[in-house]
Structure formats: C-alpha cells, structure tokens
Amino acid sequence: MNEEDRRFAVAAVQMVSGFAVEANLERADALIARAAAGGARLVALPEYFCLMGRRDTDKIDAAERPGRGPIQEFLAAQARRHGIWLLGGTLPLQSPDAGRIYNACLVFGPDGEVCMRYDKIHLFGFRREAESYDESATIRPGENAPPVFESPFGRVGLGICYDLRFPEFFRAQGDVRLMVLPAAFTYTTGSVHWEVLLRARAIENQCYVLASAQGGKHESGRRTWGHSMLIDPWGEILECLPEGEGVVAGVLEARRLEQVRESLPALRHRVM
C-alpha cells in the first residue's frame, strides 16, 4: 500500500429523496460532485437515493434490468467523470418475481464498470401502533455471498440498512478495513438504535464504518433519521450530519487502524 492509499479520503452523501427519479439524480449529481471536489476517492449514496415513492409499489414500476437503465447509466457516468469508487446506494432491479424487486447496491470502479453487486438479504419488518413496514411485500431477498470488494485502502465490506442489526452478517465478510452501509432508517428506530449499532460494528470488527443515510421529511410524509457518519476503528465518530442533504467526509488512516488492532488485538483473540 503506497502512502496515498494509507490515507484514503471517503464521503457519505445524505439525501432527502422524493417521488421523481430525475430530480433525485440531479441532487445526487451535485452532492457527488461536492464530495469529489473535496478529495473523496470513494463516495457512498444512501439507500433509495433514486426514489422514495408515494407507495412501496412505486419502486416496482421504476425497476431496471441489470446492466441497463438510466439509473445505472447515471452511476457509471458519475464514477468515470470523477474517477471515484462509487457505491450506488440502492436501486430497484428486476427479479424473477413479478411483484417484487431486488433492492440492489452496485459498486462502480473509477473506470465506470461494476465491480460488485449486492442484493439486500435482510428485509425490514416493523409494526408499532399506526407505523408499519414490510419490505418482503415488494422486495425479494438476495442470495449473494458476503459482499466484499477490494479498494486501494484494502477490503471493503457492505451492508444495507436493516443488515446493520445482524453482526454475524458482517463477521462473515472476514477481515475488512472499511464497512459501508447505505440506509433509510426510520426516525423511530434510528433515534435509539442507529448510532449504537454503527459504533458496535466498528468496535467489534476494528474497522472504519461509513454510513450514508436518508435524513429528513419526505414527500410521502415518511421521516428518516439521517445522521450519516464516519466512525473510526475505536468507535469514535469522526463526522456526522444529523439531518438534511449534504456530505459527510473524512480520511481513513491505515496507521490508526493498525494502532487499534495492535493495542487491543481482539480479532486475534477470537476463539469462534
């Protein structure tokens, strides 16, 4: 790893996406440009960055075929234009089920080519009083192997939103130096659980965690928690954006990661 890669700039984009795909892509364009202008070499968009619809079924109508469609073309062009690693939040891809889509995260290299695809495995279900969600009604769970790809900083692991609650999912990814989590956490669950779970994943895996979130009041009336953040391997929050659209940026330090792992070699102490 050369000196530049030992200090690797990253950014999480926070959005408050709405009903119109084209408008959401325009906002993402501006925010990606801001992150890249700030020096970020890896940029992560939030879950559902391209569409937060009136109804859960709206994403079925917007679903694209793998490798074809305006959303995928947009992401590829952004990665090429800025010469960055781009984690495309999530977008709806067609599945074998007529009434369900894959909630997919595509990772693009600086050449604009897809280097990894992950279809969300854990599907959120929640019911309390008048608030309820059932992702399995419109999303088909993925069947991917643990989602990991190689970056100049080292191995990067990936999860999407509800995956955050399953520590064994991330442990199965092996020794990663960065975990990235696009999300659209609800305000209700996020206000209590989001930061705790993100910091736990960083601490127990002794790696950086970059979380890119939806954060605000959407056109549908839904409210998401936001608090996109970058966390270091000791569990310290380096940067956070509580609400509204914007960019959370920071630099991953290889030396910092090595110091944490040397001083508290928990990963070597594992017996299971």
Query: Catalytic site residues?
Result: 47, 120, 161
Element containing residue 233 per DSSP (H, E):
none
- Is the CB of residue 38 less than 8 Å from the CB of residue 12? no
The 3-state DSSP class for residue 136 equals helix
Instruction: Indicate the burial class of 270 (C-beta count within 10 angstroms; 0-12, 13-18, 19 or more).
Output: exposed
What is the CA angle 36-243-70, rounded to 5? Answer: 50
Q: Measure the CA–CA gap between 145 and 60, rounded to whole angstroms.
A: 24
Q: Measure the CA–CA gap between 89 and 75, rounded to whole angstroms.
A: 10
243 Cβ partners below 8 Å, 6+ apart? 215, 216, 226, 227
